[in-house]
Structure 1
Amino acid sequence: MDPHNEVVGLCAAGMAAEAAGERARARELFERAWAAAGDDYERCVAAHYVARHQDTPAATLRWNEDCLRYADAVGDDRVAGFRASLHLNIARARRDLGDHEPARAHLALAAEHIPAVPEGEYRNWLRLAVADGRRAAAGPAAARPRGARRPDQGLVRARQADRAGPGAARPPRRPRHPRGRRTPRHDAAHGARHRLVAGGGTGRGGAGDRRADRARGPRNGPGLSRGAAR
């Protein structure tokens, strides 16, 4: 969208007000954008944001359907990336009104238009929202057995990767002992066994070591005690 366009600028200011928690200010800016719209493209943009601040599902549906009608009237690449969001919003409004069959139809259309949305976090969010909506619309029959992998986990990871940016390094994997988890106690026992094999004693410098020394005889020749040899 052209940031120098008056309608687009008012909508961007409205989004900033929303992010700051100033909903009344945001609604005022979106309504000003609608009043300033001079063609079908600008009406499409403004109607999308005005729809966000309606008090009833019926009013929300009307604004979103108007937005889709203006997008159809424009019919070029400027609105190609809008359609997935428009159909998703209409599906939500239909669902809130209890119109489940039309809601499912618009969710299917939203899924068809996702490839036209530029790659990035917003596209990943749309895919996740559409998948969640279609699963909810399918009802209990779509429930998976406990422990089954959620199909949208890959989307969550994709969103996290998108935030991290390309080429982000993965956290290093913790090395594992081939025989299972090691603890300091296991390491100490392993060291003791190693000393026992290498030195022929208990690995603790106790009576077993002294008996083994006496059995082997002097280490450094006659007349040298262990203390002297050290």
Structure 2
Amino acid sequence: MTTEDKTMKRIEEAMLLQHTGDLDGARQRFTEIWEDIASDGDPFHRCVLAHYMADLQQDPQDELAWDLRALDAAASVTDDRAKQHDSSLAIRGFYPSLHLNLAADFHKLGDTTQARTHLAQAQEHLDALNDDGYGQGIRSAIQRLAGQLAEEDPTTLKSADTK
């Protein structure tokens, strides 16, 4: 029998607020949880929280900072730890989304070099995604961003069309 992950339960409650449109409530709840876990907390918790907190930021620089926190935390998460939350999870499956978000952040900030770098890293991890709604959504978003970057400078993104 596994013990209840109270921190993950709190994160999921904040995610629910976010999904139901209470963005201020979600941001406040995520902030409270972050203050409890940030410095030495479970990297899985930090990764998930930062990933969702990034979406609540109005300033692209703040969004980038949270997405970088998510990626940094992911580097310390093991598959065993991810599976404690959901037996179907593997941390490698987080990377397409994490890098896609960073690519989008850099694109918003006008740093197309970094946007392309993270887009390529997202594409390198596509094999970790299942062929389900989530995986299809990430693949579609990667294709859309690749298309936007190609329109801006078609000479530098030819490899994105072949993956």
Smaller-chain TM-score bracket: 0.7 to 0.9
**Quick one: which of 107, 128, 151 aligns to 1:139?**
151
Amino acid of the structure 2 residue aligned with 1:73:
S
Amino acid of the structure 1 residue aligned with 2:53:
V
Larger radius of gyration: 1
User: % of aligned pairs identical?
Assistant: 34
Q: Structure 2 vs 1, CA of residues 62 and 34 (structure 1 numbering), >3 Å: closer, same or farther? A: same
Runs of 4+ residues deviating >3 angstroms: none
In 1, Cα distance between equivalents of 2:113 and 2:75:
22
Does 1:121 pair with 2:124? no
Does 1:111 pair with 2:123? yes
In 2, Cα distance between equivalents of 1:76 and 1:16:
25
In 1, Cα distance between equivalents of 2:29 and 2:124:
32
| TM, length-normalised to structure 2 | 0.77
| TM, length-normalised to structure 1 | 0.56
**Quick one: which of 64, 67, 72 aligns to 1:64?**
67
In 1, Cα distance between equivalents of 2:7 and 2:130:
22
Relative to total residues, which structure has the larger helix share, 1 or 2?
Answer: 2
Alpha-carbon deviations, 1:16-60, whole Å to 9, x = none? 212222111111222233233322222112111221222311111
Structure of higher RCO (CA pairs closer than 8 Å, 6+ residues apart): 2
Q: Runs of 5+ in structure 2 lacking a partner?
A: 83-90, 155-160
Q: Secondary structure at the match of 2:64?
A: helix
In the alignment of these two chains, the number of paired residues is 142
In 2, Cα distance between equivalents of 1:3 and 1:53:
30
Provide the residue aligned with 1:224 in structure 2: none
